[in-house]
Amino acid sequence: MASRLSWQSLRARPVLLSTVVFAGIGAYFGARSFRLPTGYAESPESPKVFGGFGFTTLRLQDVKVVNHNTKRLVFEFPDQNTASGLALTCKAAFADWIRYIVLKFILFQAALLTYSWPKGQWLPVLRPYTPISDLNQPGSVELMVKHYPNGKASSHLHSLRPGDTLTFAATLKGFPWTPNKYSQVYLIAGGAGITPIYQLIQGILNYPDDQTKINLVFGVNTEEDLLLRDELEQYKKRFPGRFNYIYTVSHPHEDGSSLRKGYVTEELLRDVMRGADKDTHVFVCGPPGMEDALVGSRKSVGVLSRLGFSKDQIYKF
């Protein structure tokens, strides 16, 4: 796991990452032309927007303000019948039957590496964002972006208006999900860390043969930070007994709120994870403090270890 790109490691080394990746991209484009507006993956099947070589530039179709610091941005594909190509990834060179098996049973959690050159920056900025739209959805892809004060990429993304464009440099594969490999999963999200977790929820629940039980623990600062609340509620209604969530709010505005108060603590998780066994997997995505407390760091043992989870049962985005 140490060599894997994580939300945190990318955050800690943005300049280095920009430089290294930009150098690689620069070398690549030294030999090939810059493709606009869109580079399609080479595939014998219907064309896909992402997954091939080259930059992909898409037009921003719609912007929705979610709360004080978060927006939803919909980017349209040039061809409305085209799908993102992110949902299930495998090499075009695979024999068809192998491809069928791979496509049918392994879902790679995926993020898009955005490329922007905000005004005043010496170098371009590369940051990953996780689509929140169904990855099989044709015609568009939707991102949900939290704005960080002085954040280079998030400020740029928040400045975009419908009609503007954004360039995507690459796709990043995340956790390879195999349906029914675990009897249940615990998904622990903090703030904007809900996006990869939500993509996993969609992937599991939208696949008819997958029976994995999902328990989500979502910690936020205030009630307005409960992103994707309606969508999660809909899933809970559609999958009673299979999908459950607990919200916990560390700084609630009103005393009257019916939601649980406080951070994602050991006590809370001990309660929620009572039925966990060896057949259980845990996924964590959130701010660095929360991830360190739960997964552990060089200096301290994490809450999840204290609750009996081994390292290979835990995946940190």
Ligand X SMILES: Cc1cc2nc3c(=O)[nH]c(=O)nc-3n(C[C@H](O)[C@H](O)[C@H](O)COP(=O)(O)OP(=O)(O)OC[C@H]3O[C@@H](n4cnc5c(N)ncnc54)[C@H](O)[C@@H]3O)c2cc1C
- In the complex, which residues of this chain contact ligand X (CB under 6 A)? 7, 10-11, 14, 111, 125, 127-130, 143-146, 148, 150-154, 172, 192, 195-196, 287, 317
Q: Is 235 part of any known ligand binding site?
A: no
Report the candidate in 78, 75, 57 with the shortest Cα–Cα distance to residue 169: 57
Write down the least CB distance from residue 183 to ligand X, Å. 26
Shortest CB 89 distance to ligand X, Å: 15
CB of 278 to ligand X, least distance (A): 27
The answer to whether 207 is a known ligand-binding residue is no
**CA 20: distance to chain centroid?**
22
Give the residue with the Cβ less far from ligand X, 56 or 280: 56
Distances (CA, A) of 78 to 48, 82, 114, 128, 129: 11, 8, 18, 22, 20
What's the length of the chain?
A: 317
Q: Are the C-beta atoms of residues 87 and 136 closer than 8 Å to each other?
A: yes
The neighbouring-strand residues paired with 83 are: 48, 138
Q: Does 11 belong to an annotated binding site? A: no
Nearer to ligand X, 174 or 272 (CB): 174
146 labeled part of a ligand binding site = yes
Q: How far is the CB of 67 from ligand X (least distance, A)?
A: 12
Choice between 85 and 151, CB closer to ligand X? 151
Residue nearest to ligand X (CB): 151
Hey, is 96 helix, strand or coil? helix
Q: Is 300 annotated as a binding residue?
A: no
**Where does the chain have alpha helices with state H?**
7-12, 14-31, 96-105, 152-159, 194-205, 229-238, 266-272, 288-295, 303-306
Return binding residues for FAD.
Answer: 127-129, 146, 152, 154, 195
